[in-house]
Amino acid sequence: MPVMPLSGNHAAAYAAKLSRVEVVAAYPITPQTQIVEKLAEFIEKGELKAKFIRVESEHSAMAACIGAAAVGARAFTATSSQGLLYMSEMLWWAAGARLPIVMGIVTRALAPPWSIWSDHIDVLSQRDTGWIIAFAENAQEVLDLIIQGFKISENDRVLLPLIVAWDAFDVSHTIEPVDVPNQNVVDEFLPKRRKYRHTLDVENPFSYGNLAYPKDYMEFRYSIYDSMLRAKDVIEQCAAEYDRLTGRYSGGLIENYLCDDADIVAIAMGSISGDLKVVVDKLRKQGVKVGFCRIRYFRPFPSEALAKCIEDAKTILVFDRDISFGSEGALCLEVRATVNREGLDKRVYGIIYGIGGREVRQKDLENIIVKAYKEELNHPRKLLWLNLKHV
Amino acid sequence: MGLVEIRWHGRGGQGVVTSAEMLVSAAIYEGKYAIAIPFFGAERRGAPVVAYNRISDTPIRTRCPILNPDYVVLLDERLGRMIDVVRGLKSDGVLVVNSKSVPEWVDRKDIRIATVDATSISMSLGLELAGIVIVNMPMLGALIKVSNIVSLNSLTKAIKAKWKGERMKQNLEAVTRAYNETVIW
């Protein structure tokens, strides 16, 4: 397996190519554009046998992916920010039609004011669409999660579309060594997409997406809910199988980094995770019993795995790169719900960081953890905005 | 080798990002870990641009901004009069600058300075595009000369993997000449 210097975006393109996608439909938007540029290049050179459908908008890009997936093709697209919002209506159609599609999202703040830098609100605004949502920490994981994503999405116990998200620039444009698996390894892991009972077939016509009366509609929703819960096992199984074939465990619902005996556990998603692990290592050497739990899949939310991870901790620090106006961070709300549902007794603090690409230093992360350790943080009611200027 | 951090300053079109990328490629040949971080903003040809590298023997997890680099590489000496290019450079760190001599604006006594006339090297080899002299290759040669973070051999392999034909030869020549001509003051 060759190690290549790849940006997160190019790692995504390689992953789609190795997954032998058959249809790519996309519309350019910073910081996503490099992904589909690279895929277009693969197709033009004949290295990837796929149809590239040029469209006039993200809404149409997803519509094209839905059409392709409905007739049995493996479809891929990618977008960011405003493009994702414009596409949003079709996300519901894709999930409701139970179509396996994988989409890369390079996270980017929403306007106004314009920003091309990262935060997670674009992806999290699509929380309830019925898409599985994964967050990658680095370029390697972008590649690994996209390949695994097709297998999870296409599993007939799941049949839901899947988003892999990664942070603008910190991952999308940062170039790092990426272990690119050989095609035969990926082929063994991810066989050709098969047809399902609901795959469109001109020989056997039927229709779907019709009007559902109140006596039927609710069951469609329950069915998505149920499949989403079943996806949890499938996600773990796929990570284990990928590990067996590539020798790399790079998936699963959560990452438990030194949480088992921790008094304090920090929780986060995406590219901040590496720095949090470095800070945990540093503080551990100073005798602070701190751990880090990374939420790799936000949907389905890994409540059980998280509850186990934080079982013995007293204090939980949740780092959110998003804000739900009028409440707090989306991840923090999930953690509070988990703590409550499992009947755990914890202090949960919400921290908002990195909005619109706001700089975060290791020292900032360290200071908060040390404050929590010394019980010097304000009441959890007071949401902490990291590195906020005086407003 | 512990963690080594580098900051690149140049102008859009001079090849700053490509340099940072080539360093990652060369590091891979040595089994080292490296990342290249292009700072992304309103980049355009001729405007000041910044990129960063981290290189280490162990996996690199951090993505925080580099505040105290071990090396600063400056592709356009004149930028030093506009911006504080040595800001945060470690004491005993090295400023590698595209210049015939030590620039008069350097006001720190605690750093070392290395110079190479990268513009002349690139011009003599015809490394120009749309009126901008591409000085990234000689500056890479100078950086590895003063830092030893990767060998000239590994960088040669990386260049051969990236370019073919005349361009490859020009780049190899540029790197090698700069490697030999770099002066540490």
Q: Which of A4, A169, A360 sits opposite B64 (nearest CB)?
A: A360
Give the pLDDT of residue B65: 85
Domain assignment present for A264: yes
Give the pLDDT of residue A391: 73
User: Residue A204 is part of a domain; what is its CATH number?
Assistant: 3.40.50.970
With a pLDDT cut of 70, the percent of chain B lying above it is: 98
Give the pLDDT of residue A208: 81
Chain A contact for B62, CB < 8 A?
A: yes
CATH class of the B4-184 domain in this structure: alpha beta
Q: How confident is the model at residue B130 (pLDDT cuts 50, 70, 90)?
A: confident
Domain assignment present for A179: yes
Residue B143 to residue B62: CA distance in whole angstroms:
23
Chain A contact for B130, CB < 8 A?
A: no
Residues 6+ apart with CB under 8 A from A175: A5, A6, A7, A139, B20, B21, B24, B35, B36, B37
Q: How confident is the model at residue B43 (pLDDT cuts 50, 70, 90)?
A: low
Give the pLDDT of residue A96: 97
- How far does A170 lie from chain B, in Å, by closest CA? 7
User: Residue A307 is part of a domain; what is its CATH number?
Assistant: 3.40.50.920
Give the pLDDT of residue B32: 96
Our count of domains for chain A comes to: 2
**Residue that is last in its domain, among A216, A246, A276:** A246
Do A372 and A263 meet the contact criterion of CB atoms below 8 Å apart?
A: no
Ranges of each domain in chain B: 4-184
A56 plus A202 within the same structural domain: yes
Give the pLDDT of residue A1: 67
What is the pTM (predicted TM-score) of this model? 0.96
Give the pLDDT of residue B105: 94
Give the pLDDT of residue B1: 79
- DSSP for residue A308: H
Q: How confident is the model at residue B161 (pLDDT cuts 50, 70, 90)?
A: very high
Residues 6+ apart with CB under 8 A from A276: A266, A268, A292, A319, A365
Q: Which of B36, B61, B67 sits opposite A174 (nearest CB)?
A: B36
Give the pLDDT of residue A378: 85
Q: Which of A169, A175, A359 sits opposite B24 (nearest CB)?
A: A175
Distances from the Cα of A6 to the Cα of A14, A15, B61, angstroms: 9, 11, 16
Chain A contact for B21, CB < 8 A?
A: yes
Residue A331 to residue A352: CA distance in whole angstroms:
10
Residue A103 to residue A162: CA distance in whole angstroms:
6
Domain assignment present for A391: no
Give the pLDDT of residue B42: 64
- Phi/psi at A66 (nearest 5 deg)? -65, -45
A258 plus A144 within the same structural domain: no
Of residues B47 and A82, which shows the higher confidence score? A82
Residue A94 to residue A131: CA distance in whole angstroms:
8
Contact A174 B35 (CB under 8 A): yes
Residue A258 to residue B119: CA distance in whole angstroms:
51
Domain assignment present for A390: no
Domain assignment present for A15: yes
Quickly tell me which residue has 């921790």 as its tokens.
A262
Range of the domain at A213: 3-246
Long-range contacts of B101-106 (CB under 8 A, 24+ apart): B102/B185, B103/B77, B105/B80, B105/B81, B106/B80
A324 plus A205 within the same structural domain: no
Displacement of CA B99 from its chain's centroid (Å) = 13
| Per-residue pLDDT tens listing for chain A (391 residues) | 689 999 999 999 999 999 999 999 999 999 999 999 999 999 999 999 999 999 999 999 999 999 999 999 999 999 999 999 999 999 999 999 999 999 999 999 999 999 999 999 999 999 999 999 999 999 999 999 999 999 999 999 999 999 999 999 999 999 999 999 999 999 999 999 999 999 999 999 988 889 999 999 999 999 999 999 999 999 999 999 999 999 999 999 999 999 999 999 999 999 999 999 999 999 999 999 999 999 999 999 999 999 999 999 999 999 999 999 999 999 999 999 999 999 999 999 999 999 999 999 999 999 999 999 999 998 888 899 999 998 7
- How far does B143 lie from chain A, in Å, by closest CA? 19
| C-alpha count within 13 angstroms, C-beta hemisphere, residue A234 | 23
A180 plus A313 within the same structural domain: no
Mean pLDDT of chain B: 94
**Residue that is last in its domain, among A214, A246, A278:** A246
Dihedral angle sign, alpha carbons of residues A378, A382, A384, A385: negative
Chain A contact for B23, CB < 8 A?
A: no
∠ CA B132-B133-B139, nearest 5°, is 135
Contact B62 A275 (CB under 8 A): yes
Query: pLDDT at residue B179 above 90?
Result: yes
Strands (E), A224-332: 254-257, 264-268, 290-295, 297-299, 315-320
A56 plus A153 within the same structural domain: yes
∠ CA A193-A195-A198, nearest 5°, is 135
- How far does B61 lie from chain A, in Å, by closest CA? 4
Q: How many CB pairs under 8 A join A and B?
A: 62
Domain assignment present for A328: yes
- How far does A319 lie from chain B, in Å, by closest CA? 15
A235 plus A263 within the same structural domain: no
Residue type, B17: V
A152 plus A224 within the same structural domain: yes
Q: How confident is the model at residue B13 (pLDDT cuts 50, 70, 90)?
A: confident
Give the pLDDT of residue B39: 81
Do B69 and B111 meet the contact criterion of CB atoms below 8 Å apart?
A: no
A228 plus A289 within the same structural domain: no
